[in-house]
Amino acid sequence: MTEGNFVDYVKMHISSGKGGQGSAHLRREKYIAKGGPDGGDGGRGGHIIMKGNKNLWTLLHLKFKRHIKADHGLHGSKQRSTGADGADQYIEVPLGTVIRDTETQEVIYEVTDDGQEVIIAEGGKGGQGNWHFKSSTNQTPRYAQPGMDGLEFDITLELKLLADVGLVGFPNAGKSTLLSVITAAKPKIADYEFTTLKPNLGIVEYREYKTFVVADIPGIIEGAAEGKGIGHRFLRHIERNSTLLFLIPADAPDIVKQYEILLDELRRYNPELLDKERLVAISKCDMLDEELKAELKVVLDKNLEAPYLFISAVANQGLIELNDKLWEMLNKVPV
């Protein structure tokens, strides 16, 4: 999937169908001059329904669908015939899609399971026919209920990636390079900040045909929690990752400080992110000789509170150990 095809934010206007009108028909047949009321009920209006689809990874198919409208219910007719219900409109979305009311920003629902269906806007109820209003004092009611109006409002769809591992790091830390090596993904790679403007997903093929999904997400900068840089557009994607892999280059001025800055951005955005499993990968370790690596280990063992390992995506060093560790963390049995 190319970066331009990844759409994770869509606004649209939805309208459920209006209920059909009840019939005020009076029975009239050849030998029955005054048969009484026999008007049928109106059909309900069509619903707007969201449906989870595990085969979708983006909201691209909805990018240009700005208006979604369900059909109206049909009117009731004679012989107490109920009008047909309006056709429902299904909107298929990827798993991890959050539906919000655009005006209030209230979360209406989150779609997390394949085939899961949720009615976002109910169709209007059909009106009752005149036979419902027949009584001993009013045996020929010549009126019926109109159908109820449907709902109409704006919604916002936000996609939060459902990956197992989220790559966290500053711009140009080597996340895209790592993803391209350990998975079949082909993200754009260049030596400047914010090469990755949209998330990239890759599937790691582990031992014995096992797999897990890794998401390379646009790099954090200081102030991302306040919306600086790519800000919240990046941070919301790591909310659903079960494990966070912090990638910090070996040539960083202060590895421990960079880790603490990244951790602080996550804390300020959503403190619950700190409850996730964390692993630090020191990338570009092919630039270090054994003496420098030993000195760095002494500093990290003393000051870094998370487990860490050294890797090099370019030199293919430490990648098997990285995958082993990630698999172990993802499949850890809760105590």
The string of pLDDT tens digits covering residues 296-326 is: 999 999 998 889 999 988 888 888 899 899 8
Domain boundaries, the chain: 1-159, 165-330
* Predicted pLDDT at 149: 95
* Predicted pLDDT at 92: 94
Mean pLDDT estimate for the chain: 82
- Rounded to a whole number of angstroms, the CA Rg of the chain reads 29
* Predicted pLDDT at 231: 40
What is the CATH topology of the domain spanning 1-159? Spo0b-associated Gtp-binding Protein; Chain: A, (2.70.210)
Distance from C-alpha of 291 to C-alpha of 298, rounded to nearest angstrom:
11
Mean pLDDT on 93-108:
90
Distance from C-alpha of 100 to C-alpha of 106, rounded to nearest angstrom:
5
Query: Per DSSP, what are the bridge partners of residue 180?
Result: none
Question: Tens digit of pLDDT for each residue in 206-238?
Answer: 777 777 778 777 655 444 334 444 444 556 666
Distance from C-alpha of 281 to C-alpha of 283, rounded to nearest angstrom:
6
The conformation of residue 304, written as its DSSP 8-state character, comes to: -
Mean pLDDT on 70-89:
93
Q: Which of 59-68, 162-171, 302-311, 319-328 has the lowest mean pLDDT?
A: 162-171
Strands (E), the chain: 9-15, 48-52, 67-69, 89-93, 97-101, 107-111, 117-121, 152-159, 165-168, 200-205, 211-216, 243-249, 277-283, 308-310
Whole-number percent of the chain with pLDDT over 90: 32
pLDDT band at 88 (very low <50, low <70, confident <90, very high): very high
More confident residue, 81 or 198: 81
Please name the residues in contact with 211: beta carbons below 8 A apart, sequence gap of 6 or more: 203, 204, 205
More confident residue, 209 or 5: 209
Q: Which of 34-43, 58-67, 218-227, 236-245 has the lowest mean pLDDT?
A: 218-227
Q: Which CATH architecture has domain 165-330?
A: 3-Layer(aba) Sandwich (3.40)
| Residue entry with tokens 């941070």 | 235
